[in-house]
Amino acid sequence: MSDSHLTETVSARSSNASASHVPPGPLPTWSPGSWRTKKAHQLPVYSDEIRLSEMLDRLRKLPPLVTPWEIRDLKRQLAEAAHGKRFVLQGGDCAERFEDCTSERITDRLKILLQMSLVLIVGMKTRVVRIGRFAGQYAKPRSSDVETRGDRTLPSYRGDIINDVAFTSEAREPNPERMLEAYSHSAITLNLVRSLAENGFADLHHPEYWNLNFVQHAPLAAEYRRIVESIGDAVSFMETVSDAPIESLERAAFYSSHEALLLPYEEALTRFGPHQDGAYNLATHFPWVGARTNDLDGAHLEYARGIRNPIGVKVGPWLSPQELVRIAEFLDPEREPGRLTVIHRLGADRIGDLLPGMIEAVRATGRTVLWSCDPMHGNTEVTGSGIKTRRFENILSELEQAFEIHHAEDSHLGGVHFELTGEDVTECTGGARGLEDADLTHAYRSHVDPRLNYEQALEMAFLIVRKKRTLAARG
């Protein structure tokens, strides 16, 4: 297939209702580039195809960002989570920006994930797998190929790996050199993440120093503080009985993840593992396929089916249970433990009607997948003044309903997926401080989707613990 087909763009898909059935018989031979034989949604058009080819050639020669053994270790942990032995906390920015690749921003992001995970570990009494939406989350699908402001229409901003957010013709032109910038920023981020994780960057010994000012506004303040106190007691006890600092007991591992959206970039960083045990996407530990690109006859699932990484697939309210089963069969024909994570993003007002059928359909096949809830994307709305936001109470409602439904269906919700930040932004309303629409303009920094701020994210961890304890008490 020619390079012009490689960069063919298609209008954003708004429905998966007509997704094709997997053809009977053996599937065609897979290769890292076999996705080019399929229709590709959400890809940009690069005007300079020669420059594009040059950039992809350079990427193919660069070292991998992650290793096959890290990927295999994560897959093992995800298999345990699918059986209730671990819980997955996946979170981070909706779309990373190159300008945010600073030690402060990276550290803040890890700090909130670590603190949330400690609340979950102590409160739920289970091990937590920490997966960050970082070191590669530079591309975002868009509902429209173009953006109009006044009488001017330009290509939509699709993430820093493709173009720039500035509303000018030059900035919005897809630039293949940005893929090299994304690679470099991902490498820098992973380097700092590994260094911080290995050496213990957050003071676990004094959780009372965490930013818990929001607790005074929360109706569950006393319960929150008891959990924080129990974290401190647990850390002290573990160090006493082991005669070793907490950092040496178990490394606070963080795994990277991003949506495998810009397929030329993903292909360039796909390599065959040692002993030829298959191809790995070595740009990230855990790639996922988004709800806008998960059609069975499309390029993104074709790419995902052949790599050895654990794969996440986002499923929205337009996907039928039967189509979900076919996707599972397509991505995981060998039923490999830890291979497939189903991340449902259905919306607080629809999850009760849709999720039970999905669970029943997958269970009827005898297949075990890891179920995770993304309560963010199905609850996005626009205020009267035109600001995109999400309401804390709706996010929480979908999450609590997900726990209830899985419990009622004798299933297991093994993870959560949040768009969040360690910063004090005002992008989502609600939470203990009671942010309102009028507060959104105070510190709204996202250029794509609204994120939970530090306090809202940490509060969400406390509320997950509360919900799990309630379900456990009911038996």
Nearest in space to 265 (alpha carbons), one of 158, 368, 350, 169:
158
pLDDT value, residue 159: 97
Nearest in space to 377 (alpha carbons), one of 413, 351, 338:
351
pTM value? Answer: 0.89
Question: What is the Cβ-side half-sphere exposure of residue 160, based on CA atoms within 13 angstroms?
Answer: 22
Range of the domain at 79: 3-13+32-474
Nearest in space to 445 (alpha carbons), one of 465, 421, 463, 470:
421
pLDDT value, residue 241: 54
| Joined tokens for residue 7 | 């960069």
Q: Is 29 helix (H, G, I), strand (E, B) or coil?
A: coil
pLDDT tens digit string along 144-191?
Answer: 999 999 999 999 999 999 999 999 999 999 999 999 999 999 999 999
pLDDT value, residue 5: 35
DSSP state of 271: E
Other C-beta atoms closer than 10 Å to the C-beta of 386 total 6
**Domain membership flag for residue 27:** no
**One-letter identity of residue 17:** A
pLDDT in tens, the chain (475 residues): 333 333 333 333 333 333 344 445 567 899 999 999 999 999 999 999 999 999 999 999 999 999 999 999 999 999 999 999 999 999 999 999 999 999 989 988 888 898 888 889 888 989 999 999 999 999 999 989 999 999 999 999 999 999 999 999 999 999 999 999 999 999 999 999 998 877 655 545 545 445 556 556 666 667 666 776 776 666 665 555 555 444 444 456 899 999 999 999 999 999 997 776 899 999 999 999 999 999 999 999 999 999 999 999 999 999 999 999 999 999 999 999 999 999 999 999 999 999 999 999 999 999 999 999 999 999 999 999 999 999 999 999 999 999 999 999 999 999 999 999 988 899 999 998 899 999 999 999 998 899 999 889 989 998 999 999 999 998 8
pLDDT value, residue 273: 72
> Rounded to an integer, what distance in angstroms lies between the CA atom of residue 131 and that of residue 143?
26
**Domain membership flag for residue 345:** yes
| Joined tokens for residue 80 | 């345990």
Find all residues with CB under 8 Å of 400, minimum gap 6, and list them: 463, 467
pLDDT value, residue 17: 37
Q: Give the number of domains in the chain.
A: 1
CA angle 454, 227, 421 (to 5 degrees): 10
pLDDT value, residue 230: 72
**Domain membership flag for residue 18:** no
**Domain membership flag for residue 277:** yes
pLDDT value, residue 53: 97
**To which H or E segment does residue 370 belong?**
strand 370-373
> What residue spans of 162-212 are helical by DSSP H?
169-172, 177-199
**Domain membership flag for residue 232:** yes
pLDDT tens digit string along 402-445?
Answer: 999 999 999 999 999 999 998 889 999 999 889 999 999 999 99
Helix 392-408 and helix 454-474, axial crossing angle in degrees, nearest 10: 30
> Rounded to an integer, what distance in angstroms lies between the CA atom of residue 107 and that of residue 422?
8
> Rounded to an integer, what distance in angstroms lies between the CA atom of residue 449 and that of residue 140?
10
**To which H or E segment does residue 382 belong?**
strand 380-382
pLDDT value, residue 28: 81
| Number of separate helices (H) and strands (E) present in the chain | 14, 15
**Domain membership flag for residue 49:** yes
Contact 92, 109 (CB under 8 A): yes
| Joined tokens for residue 60 | 């193919």
Q: Where are the beta strands (DSSP E) in 94-225?
A: 127-133, 146-149, 152-155
**Domain membership flag for residue 21:** no
Q: For residue 331, give the CATH number of its domain.
A: 3.20.20.70
pLDDT value, residue 18: 38
Question: Is residue 327 packed enough to be buried (19+ CB in 10 Å), middle (13-18) or exposed (0-12)?
Answer: buried
**Domain membership flag for residue 24:** no
| Joined tokens for residue 430 | 């609600």
